Structure 1
């Protein structure tokens, strides 16, 4: 059996994913990172993007915004202000999320806010295609 670690993805409303993961791909603020069992400890903000998790041989994908990850050798926790299962981001839900990101871009007050909004628009546009 492959080595695993405990993984949790939590939003203010609920725990979206929880279980023993084989690997996690995180959209880190400085670039994508893959976490495997025994990873060195770190805390990182996440840019808007998709968290891909391999749980029990199956893959789950969740779009996150305003999130950060805490990585320990035997545990990864992602706390996200906004998180939606990619499978649920179809049709109207995807259009609504994209409209919200475009509204965030229009109301951005500085370069940092514009960057985050543009990253969300880029990721959501790729999901829509």
Structure 2
């Protein structure tokens, strides 16, 4: 049996991360679960939280705002509309991003698609900010 499992974390527009890992922790809707090489096939909804990918001695963390995890014995595919690599993130930058979205929101046409997208972005970045506060 192989001692690593391929991990792919993607958003509709891009692949955020791809590497061989020793283990992955995923925030499922029923709680965090671990995935090791050889895991049984599984499809799970992902809750808001942190996906931890263990690459030997290194751990990579990604904030995810819901999604789907497809798991096979050799691969983990995580798909979400909102994924942020937590390395190098700071609260000040996130607060600035939220403020910029709020400014754009105030200037956008009410009940437009742009308004809905900006509202959605503000909600997701506020969730990231709340997560980082823990």
Common fold: TM-score over 0.5: yes
Q: Structure 1: which 5+ residue stretches go unaligned? A: 101-116
The 8 Å contact of residues 98 and 125 in structure 1, kept in 2 or not, is answered as: no
- Paired residue total: 109
**Per-residue CA distance 1:36-77 (angstroms, 9 max, x = gap):** 011111100101101000124311100011311001111000
Which residue of structure 2 aligns with residue 114 of structure 1?
A: none
Q: CA RMSD in A?
A: 2.5
Aligned residue number for residue 18 of structure 1 = 18
1:127 shift after superposition: 1.5
Give the TM-score taking structure 1 as reference length.
0.72
Q: 2:129 and 2:85 mapped to 1: Cα distance?
A: 12
- Give, in whole Å, the separation in 2 of the partners of 1:82 and 1:35: 21
**TM score, norm. by length of structure 2:** 0.70
Shift of 1:124: 3.9
5+ residue gaps, structure 2, are 102-122
Corresponding position of 2:104: none
CA–CA distance in structure 1, aligned partners of residues 48 and 98 of structure 2: 12
C-alpha distance in 1 between matches for 2:48 and 2:89: 14
Higher Cα Rg, which structure? 2
Secondary structure of residue in 2 paired with 1:15: strand
Shift in Å, 1:11: 0.9
Q: 1:26 to 1:20 in 2, by over 3 A?
A: same
Residue 54 of structure 2 aligns with which residue?
Answer: 54
